Amino acid sequence: MPKFDDVNVGDELPTLTKAPGRAQLVMYCAGSGDFNPLHWDQSFPQAQAIGDNIVHGRMKWSTLGQVVSDWVGSDGWVRSVSCQYRGMDMQGTEWYAKGVVTGKREEDGRKLVDVDVWTENAAGQKTTPGKAVVVLDA
């Protein structure tokens, strides 16, 4: 668990590996209320056209939050996580959530760390780039 004084620009967060299968996507549909058949029905014409079902964008966003939260642990808290959906990740295919520290600053007496976060596929393409801000203890 990082302390503000020990964090440096360029530090990488531990990578999370995900490969949600169709059953997990169906469960995510139930939890999120997003029942678009593109996420679960392999016979849906759009899924057939692209080769399979795709992972929910919000699942990837929440995984970016997880990679940051796991890194922060109990030494701080996640202030914000944002992202853009730029590419598709397919069900059953590995993708990775990663992050790197891009800045440190103090604001209103809080020690903030800026982090670039993203998901990438096995080919190394960033499919969901984003940013996070965390508050850390000294």
Domain harbouring 67, CATH code:
3.10.129.10
- Res 137: pLDDT: 83
Distances in whole angstroms, Cα of residue 111 to Cα of each of 50, 70, 92? 44, 18, 39
The domain in which residue 70 lies consists of 4-20+55-136
Residues 6+ apart with CB under 8 A from 108: none
Q: Is residue 38 part of a domain?
A: no
- Split into its structural domains, the chain has a count of 1
- Note whether residue 39 is domain-resident: no
Whole-prediction pTM value? 0.93
Q: What is the pLDDT of residues 58-114, one digit of tens each?
A: 999 999 999 999 999 998 999 999 999 999 999 999 999 999 999 999 999 999 999
Token code pair at residue 53: 């079902």
Note whether residue 36 is domain-resident. no
Give a yes or no: residue 47 inside a domain.
no
Instruction: Find, among 77, 75, 38, 71, the residue nearest to 57 by Cα.
Output: 38
Tell whether 45 is covered by a domain. no
Strands (E), the chain: 16-18, 76-83, 95-107, 110-121, 126-136
pLDDT in tens, 24-64: 999 999 999 999 999 999 999 999 999 999 999 999 999 99
